[in-house]
């Protein structure tokens, strides 16, 4: 009886589990894994789903989480810092330098006009000057959520687009500095000119010290660290949190330091694996938790029953959209852009996500902004983050890239002839089941240019060179190379096998390719497995980041010698799309294959515009002076991926460009057509990736991540 009474006295299981932080953390992980995927299938931004999840899980929904949960608050604070840090880290300094005068001009307009509009909204609603100016600064910045769309369309180099990208550095800096001053004044109590001047002085000194000091320290540390990516990663995180602590010491919010340190280490980190790791950790864990926590703060019943809050929300939405449109219109008149370019600048500057949400939350906790403003900004974020990319995708299709941005097209063979005497194709061999087709592919390509292939095997290094595992790895590599050499002799192409002992496969392949002066790397399609691969990428990702030459990632379902019909889908009508066509032509010459270049346009496109697109695409392809002119097809369809999938049923091979998406500061990238194609195509596929130096503003290889995990 005593035992029964003790059992009955125990708390209910649900209450016990509710007190366990590990249970809450597990629920959050499920949410940030599943919900964004579901919302993106509904054509909604994944971050909207995260905020909605917080609303359902919090006090307004199922009461599973509370907004004052210590665990959630800690992770959310880290996410808030990370959000502004990534915003600074992803500032496109190169685009800013290209168009700095016009970028500054557009930034001045798209910052000042919404700032004035937002300030007037605050004053009309009865807020003081300090709070009203802060509300105005929320309108002033913008988040480049549609960057993956304009990258896919090939219009990043359009002047209006590059000006909009470059202007984001000014709007973000301005919004962050206004936030810092407004919050500091609120904490100091009564406003005085002396306090403002003192704070501005400290803020200026701090900003210069952070940007200049961490920039110098980062370059020095990265130079001395060599290839140790782990130490570089830890150094960047240390800089982030030191800057956040320093900001609080001078009396400004920690997100100011996070943003400045992002700017400071921007060039030191560059575009590569270290930046990928830094952004990845935040974008898959901390930043999503911040959005979930933001949803916990929403009191939906109170918001819906508050007529003033609904009026405020409507006023803010109309004010933001109108002010951004007016700023874009003034820029059009000032610099002579056409209407399509003006509307593209407007749509790109609409989304209010990263800096806006961070500043809103800080202002809310500082008592400057009411819960009504917080709710209104969340609704504003949902609408603009959905409307902006949707409009960009429809408007930017008709843009053209600036003429100076596209170099004269050259074939892979021509590129190599300018540097070496013959074409060299490196073929990493590891999987005996795919090796035969890889060697066949490489020999077909090398035969067209009287080149050679270099079968490459990587043996993983060990601490001791006489270690049994290293000896076994070397023996296995030698067997693979012997088999590859025999296959190439049968196919009539010279082969120079290379065995390399290296710490990692990706670095070994990239270094060996550089040493061999390779013109092309031909790799097999691998699967992403294991926790390390999930967090830090697989071999394909690493090679694509580091390679000095093009990389062809292949998934061959039959012998390359049987390929007779090749499809090359192109998503835009600019010169960069010629690279996959060049590659397909090299393979077609070997097999006397037929090439079709396919472009899918909107279903509502008129017949005259379709004829223009066909003519323009024909002119681009004609510049290559190919021996056999490819067939040009233009299809009007409502779904680009489905149109390509239907057309691909008649082809043996589809050649796709590898486009790495720049993610949003929330880490929730807009899905790419390439991902869906690679997941559903049943014929052979070749993904052609260009060297890292030709990519601009790429952070996470989202396409490769999705592809390798799906196959």
Helix axes 273-281, 229-249, angle to 10 degrees: 50
**Dihedral angle sign, alpha carbons of residues 51, 53, 54, 60:** positive
Give the model's pLDDT for residue 667. Answer: 35
Question: What's the length of the chain?
Answer: 711
Separation between Cα atoms, residue 623 and residue 485, nearest integer Å: 37
Reduced to 3 states (helix: H, G, I; strand: E, B; else coil), residue 601 is strand
Q: Decide the pairing of beta strands 520-524 and 551-555.
A: parallel
Question: Could you tell me the residue range of the domain that residue 203 belongs to?
Answer: 52-402
Residue 591 sits at the vertex; the CA angle it makes with 585 and 596, to the nearest 5 degrees, is 45
């219009």: which residue's tokens? 155
Which pairs count as long-range contacts for 250-254, CB under 8 Å and 24+ apart, including other chains? 250/202, 250/203, 250/206, 251/184, 251/187, 251/188, 251/199, 251/202, 252/180, 252/183, 252/184, 252/199, 252/203, 252/206, 253/179, 253/180, 253/183, 253/362, 253/366, 254/81
Residue 686 sits at the vertex; the CA angle it makes with 682 and 690, to the nearest 5 degrees, is 150
Query: Is-contact 520 426, C-beta < 8 A?
Result: yes
CATH number at residue 105: 1.20.1530.20
Phi/psi for 430 (5° steps) reads: -145, -40
Would residue 644 count as lying in a domain? no
Residue 413 sits at the vertex; the CA angle it makes with 686 and 152, to the nearest 5 degrees, is 45
Separation between Cα atoms, residue 688 and residue 35, nearest integer Å: 31
Report mean pLDDT in 10-residue bins for the chain, 711 residues: 46 51 81 84 79 83 73 82 79 67 88 91 86 88 80 76 84 84 75 70 82 82 72 83 82 78 74 72 82 83 81 89 92 89 90 84 84 88 86 79 45 44 82 82 82 86 71 83 84 84 82 88 66 51 79 87 89 66 83 87 81 82 76 85 87 79 37 69 84 37 29 28
- How is residue 495 annotated by DSSP? B
Query: Is-contact 430 480, C-beta < 8 A?
Result: yes
Query: Is-contact 573 616, C-beta < 8 A?
Result: yes
Give the model's pLDDT for residue 321. Answer: 92
**Dihedral angle sign, alpha carbons of residues 322, 303, 189, 363:** negative
Which of 509, 574, 519 lies closest to 546 in space, CA to CA?
Answer: 509
Give the model's pLDDT for residue 701. Answer: 29
Would residue 504 count as lying in a domain? no
Would residue 117 count as lying in a domain? yes
Separation between Cα atoms, residue 185 and residue 456, nearest integer Å: 63
Query: Is-contact 109 289, C-beta < 8 A?
Result: no
Query: Is-contact 558 661, C-beta < 8 A?
Result: no
Would residue 379 count as lying in a domain? yes
Give the model's pLDDT for residue 112. Answer: 92
Would residue 445 count as lying in a domain? no
Give the model's pLDDT for residue 706. Answer: 30
Query: Is-contact 35 53, C-beta < 8 A?
Result: yes
Query: Is-contact 106 164, C-beta < 8 A?
Result: yes
Q: Cα torsion for 257, 260, 264, 265, to the nearest 10°?
A: 70
Would residue 40 count as lying in a domain? no
Give Cα separations from 517 to 244, 416, 420, 508, 521 (angstroms). 45, 9, 8, 14, 11
Separation between Cα atoms, residue 477 and residue 471, nearest integer Å: 10
- Across-strand partners of 457? 499
Neighbours of 470 (CB within 10 A): 17
Would residue 4 count as lying in a domain? no
Separation between Cα atoms, residue 325 and residue 625, nearest integer Å: 44
Would residue 455 count as lying in a domain? no
Which of 308, 254, 235 lies closest to 77 in space, CA to CA?
Answer: 254
Separation between Cα atoms, residue 241 and residue 254, nearest integer Å: 9
Separation between Cα atoms, residue 120 and residue 127, nearest integer Å: 10
| Number of domains observed in the structure of the chain | 1
What's the chain's Rg over C-alpha atoms? 28
Phi/psi for 190 (5° steps) reads: -65, 140
Separation between Cα atoms, residue 162 and residue 166, nearest integer Å: 6
The pair of structure tokens assigned to 153 is 């369309």
């Amino acid at each position: 009886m005593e035992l029964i009474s003790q059992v009955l006295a125990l708390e209910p299981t649900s209450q016990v589990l509710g007190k366990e932080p590990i249970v809450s953390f597990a629920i959050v992980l499920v949410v940030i894994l599943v919900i964004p995927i579901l919302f993106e299938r509904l054509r909604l931004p994944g971050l909207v789903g995260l905020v909605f999840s917080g609303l359902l899980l919090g006090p307004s929904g199922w009461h599973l989480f509370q907004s004052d949960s210590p665990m959630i608050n800690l992770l959310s604070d880290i996410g808030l810092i990370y959000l502004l840090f990534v915003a600074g880290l992803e500032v496109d300094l190169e685009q800013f330098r290209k168009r700095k005068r016009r970028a500054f001009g557009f930034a001045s307009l798209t910052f000042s006009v919404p700032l004035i509009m937002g300030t007037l909204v605050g004053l009309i609603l009865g807020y003081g000057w300090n709070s009203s100016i802060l509300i105005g600064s929320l309108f002033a910045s913008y988040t480049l959520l549609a960057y993956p769309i304009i990258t896919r369309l090939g219009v990043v180099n359009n002047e209006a687009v590059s000006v909009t990208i470059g202007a984001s550095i000014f709007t973000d800096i301005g919004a962050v500095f206004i936030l810092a001053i407004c919050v500091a004044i609120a904490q100091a109590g009564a406003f005085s000119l002396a306090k403002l001047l003192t704070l501005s002085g400290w803020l200026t000194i701090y900003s210069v010290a952070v940007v200049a000091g961490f920039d110098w320290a980062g370059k020095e540390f990265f130079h001395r660290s060599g290839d140790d990516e782990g130490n570089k990663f830890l150094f960047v995180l240390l800089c982030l949190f030191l800057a956040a602590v320093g900001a609080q010491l001078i009396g400004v919010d920690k997100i100011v330091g996070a943003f400045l340190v992002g700017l400071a280490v921007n060039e030191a980190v560059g575009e590569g694996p270290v930046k990928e790791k830094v952004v990845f950790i935040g974008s898959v864990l901390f930043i999503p938790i911040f959005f979930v926590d933001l949803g916990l703060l929403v009191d939906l019943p109170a918001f819906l029953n508050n007529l003033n809050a609904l009026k405020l929300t409507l006023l803010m939405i109309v004010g933001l959209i109108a002010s951004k449109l007016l700023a874009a219109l003034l820029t059009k008149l000032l610099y002579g852009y056409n209407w399509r370019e003006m509307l593209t600048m407007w749509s790109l500057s609409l989304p209010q996500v990263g800096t806006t949400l961070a500043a809103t939350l800080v202002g809310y906790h500082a008592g400057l902004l009411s819960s009504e403003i917080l709710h209104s900004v969340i609704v504003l974020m949902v609408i603009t983050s959905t409307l902006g990319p949707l409009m960009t995708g429809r408007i930017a299709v008709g843009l053209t890239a600036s003429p100076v941005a596209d170099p004269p097209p050259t074939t892979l063979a021509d590129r190599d002839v300018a540097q070496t005497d013959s074409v060299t194709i490196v073929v990493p061999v590891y999987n005996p089941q795919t090796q035969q087709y890889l060697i066949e592919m490489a020999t077909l390509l090398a035969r067209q240019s009287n080149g050679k292939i270099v079968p490459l095997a990587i043996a993983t290094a060990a601490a001791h060179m006489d270690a049994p595992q290293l000896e076994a790895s070397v023996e296995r590599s030698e067997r693979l190379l012997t088999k590859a050499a025999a296959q190439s002799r049968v196919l009539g192409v010279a082969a120079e096998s290379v065995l390399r002992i290296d710490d990692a496969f990706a670095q070994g392949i990239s270094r060996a390719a550089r040493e061999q002066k390779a013109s092309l790397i031909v790799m097999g399609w691998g699967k992403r497995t294991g926790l390390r691969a999930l967090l830090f990428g697989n071999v394909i990702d690493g090679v694509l980041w580091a390679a000095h030459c093009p990389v062809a990632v292949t998934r061959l379902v039959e012998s390359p010698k049987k390929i007779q019909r090749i499809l090359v889908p192109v998503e835009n009508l600019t010169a960069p799309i010629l690279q996959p066509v060049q590659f397909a032509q090299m393979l077609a010459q070997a097999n006397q294959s037929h090439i079709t270049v396919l472009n899918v346009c909107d279903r509502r496109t008129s017949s005259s515009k379709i004829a223009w697109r066909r003519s323009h695409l024909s002119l681009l392809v004609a510049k290559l002076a190919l021996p056999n002119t490819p067939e040009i097809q233009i299809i009007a369809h409502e779904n680009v991926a489905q149109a390509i999938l239907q057309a691909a049923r008649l082809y043996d091979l589809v050649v796709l460009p590898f486009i790495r998406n720049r993610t949003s500061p929330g880490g929730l990238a807009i899905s790419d057509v390439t991902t869906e194609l690679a997941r559903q195509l049943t014929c052979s596929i070749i993904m052609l990736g260009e060297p890292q130096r030709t990519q601009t503003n790429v952070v996470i290889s989202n396409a490769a991540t999705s592809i390798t995990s799906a196959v």
